[in-house]
Amino acid sequence: LLQPEAVQPEVWLLPQFTSAAALWADLCAVAAVAPFRHMMTRMGHPVAAAMTNCGALGWTSSARGYAYRTVDPETGRPWPPIPAAWLALAREAAALAGYADYVPDACLVNRYAVGVGMGRHNDDSEQDFSQPIVSVLLGLPTRFAWWGDRPEGRGRDLPVQDGDVLVWGRSARLGFHAVRPVPPGRHPVCGEFRFNLTFRKAG
């Protein structure tokens, strides 16, 4: 458990805390029930990362804006539950970072092809900012960019790789961040993709 220099207090990095190999079967099972899709933004273009969800609430974007939903709009069915091993992992990481009894109700799963990133934003659609976000990085390495409260300049880069887990909350919970485009490569489990699991207390 360490606090990377590139970011700020209340951002914790757990290097090599898990691996894509350990989570892969559950990832395939989630995607079989709730397939990856490119959601639309309010501006009318598709999100570059493909997304799906598990848990009671799933994050969605459409022409009507962002919303957490209990039902997958693509299938009309509830999102699959968060796999037990994933929940245990998120709870363990949160506990190490000082959050006792973390109970996420939402897990957004992002899939990035080579060359794809995510622009600068902060995560403010949740009801409960007292609870941290736990982010699990799988597959190809990339860099996160971190700004914190003031979204100015290029931001600071944090290199991350398969199996790393980030926990960020409290004063960092509403910090601005981005994902730099994924450099070319091939991961033995994930192929030419990077995945990210983002656990949140959304409801």
Tell me which residues touch ligand MD5 (CB under 6 A): 7, 11, 108, 110, 118, 123, 135, 144, 146, 158, 166, 168, 177, 179, 196, 198
Q: Which is nearer to Fe ion, 22 or 39 (CB)?
A: 39
Q: Which is nearer to ligand MD5, 80 or 110 (CB)?
A: 110
149-168 b/e (C-beta count within 10 Å ≥ 16 → b): eeeeeebbebebebbbbbbb
| Closest distance of CB 135 from Fe ion, Å | 8
CA pair distance 42, 20, nearest whole angstrom: 32
CA pair distance 189, 203, nearest whole angstrom: 33
Residues near Fe ion (CB under 5 A): 123
Q: Which is nearer to ligand MD5, 131 or 198 (CB)?
A: 198
DSSP readout, 129-150? TTSPEEEEEEES-EEEEEEET-
CA pair distance 77, 70, nearest whole angstrom: 8
| Closest distance of CB 63 from ligand MD5, Å | 19
Alpha-carbon radius of gyration of the chain: 16
Q: Which is nearer to ligand MD5, 76 or 193 (CB)?
A: 193
Q: Which is nearer to Fe ion, 19 or 122 (CB)?
A: 122
CA pair distance 100, 33, nearest whole angstrom: 31
Q: Which does 108 bind (CB under 5 to 8 A by kind): Fe ion, ligand MD5, none?
A: ligand MD5
Cross-strand bridge partners of residue 6? none
| Closest distance of CB 10 from ligand MD5, Å | 9
Q: Which does 147 bind (CB under 5 to 8 A by kind): ligand MD5, Fe ion, none?
A: none
| Closest distance of CB 176 from ligand MD5, Å | 9
